[in-house]
């Protein structure tokens, strides 16, 4: 049920700024651990 965070963009009139990049799969799985078999 884990989902990556979307990119965050701030819009100011005609300008747009990337505030946070989209989370990669590697970043998403960084805190995960596998169960023993």
> What local confidence, expressed as pLDDT, does residue 28 receive?
86
Q: Is the whole model's pTM more than 0.85, yes or no?
A: no
> What local confidence, expressed as pLDDT, does residue 16 receive?
98
For 1-37, write each residue's pLDDT tens digit. 678 899 999 999 999 999 999 999 888 888 888 899 8
Residue 16: its H or E element: strand 15-20
Please report, for residues 8, 14, 26, 33, 37, the alpha-carbon distance to residue 4 in angstroms, rounded to integers and kept in the order given: 12, 28, 10, 17, 26
Question: What is the phi/psi pair of residue 5, to 5°?
Answer: -75, 140
> What local confidence, expressed as pLDDT, does residue 9 receive?
98
> What local confidence, expressed as pLDDT, does residue 1 receive?
61
């Amino acid at each position: 049920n884990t989902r990556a965070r979307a990119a965050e963009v701030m819009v100011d009139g005609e300008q747009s700024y990337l505030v946070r990049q989209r989370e990669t799969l590697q970043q998403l799985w960084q805190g995960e651990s596998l169960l023993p078999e």
